[in-house]
Amino acid sequence: MMGKSLKSDGKYISIHLRFDEDIVASSCCVYDGGCEEQLEKDMSCEKGWGSKFRCKDPAINPGLNRINGKCPLTPVEIGVVLRGMGFDNNTAFYLASGKLYEAKRHLVLLLQMFPLFYTKKSFASPEELAPFEMLRGQAEAEETVSIAFSYRLCLLHSSMGVGL
């Protein structure tokens, strides 16, 4: 990744968006997809989490959760935060995430904001990824290595499991 980010002196930032399908589904938050989105998230939540999370509790107000900042930020919102922190379109950007919720729709603007955009598949060859294939939690191991060498790491949501 450092070689790929030569336009920024070999520096890059790593982001784990925390906008994976299962995280968004279990957050009980509403974005802009209306009833169809809610149905998809309910099905994803049921598939991934079973009865552990139920968004149908009348005490849960998805719109209020979003307004109060208790929802994962969208990729575009993350981009706006990064721009506000001073990162521009010459910043190399490594995305360390699983399967993003509606990735095609949500990544378009982020890719315009940060065109030097990479994932593990876009910068590492199969040979470079091979040592991780036998490891338990392969994806997490690959992302951890990439994040460890990044210039900056941004933690933008409390569900990261990081205690301060």
What are the structural domain ranges in the chain? 1-19+73-164, 20-71
- Percentage above 70 pLDDT, the chain: 54
Q: Cβ distance 141 to 132 under 8 Å?
A: yes
Provide the pLDDT for residue 44: 67
The pairing of strands 12-15 and 92-95 is parallel
Residues 6+ apart with CB under 8 A from 119: 94, 95
Determine the pLDDT at residue 164.
Answer: 30
Q: Does residue 47 sit in helix, strand or coil?
A: helix
Q: Mean pLDDT over all residues of the chain?
A: 70
Out of 1-5, 6-10, 87-91, 159-163, least confident range: 159-163
- The single-letter code of the amino acid at 37 is E
pTM of the model: 0.65
| Nearest-angstrom CA–CA distance, 7 and 28 | 40
User: 139, 140, 138, 97: which is closest to 118 by C-alpha?
Assistant: 97
Which has the minimum average pLDDT: 20-24, 69-73, 115-119? 20-24
What does the pLDDT read at residue 159? Answer: 45
pLDDT in tens, 4-63: 544 556 567 777 777 877 777 777 777 776 677 667 766 766 666 666 655 566 566 767
Q: What residue spans of the chain are helical by DSSP H? A: 21-26, 34-49, 62-67, 75-84, 103-113, 120-123, 126-129, 138-148
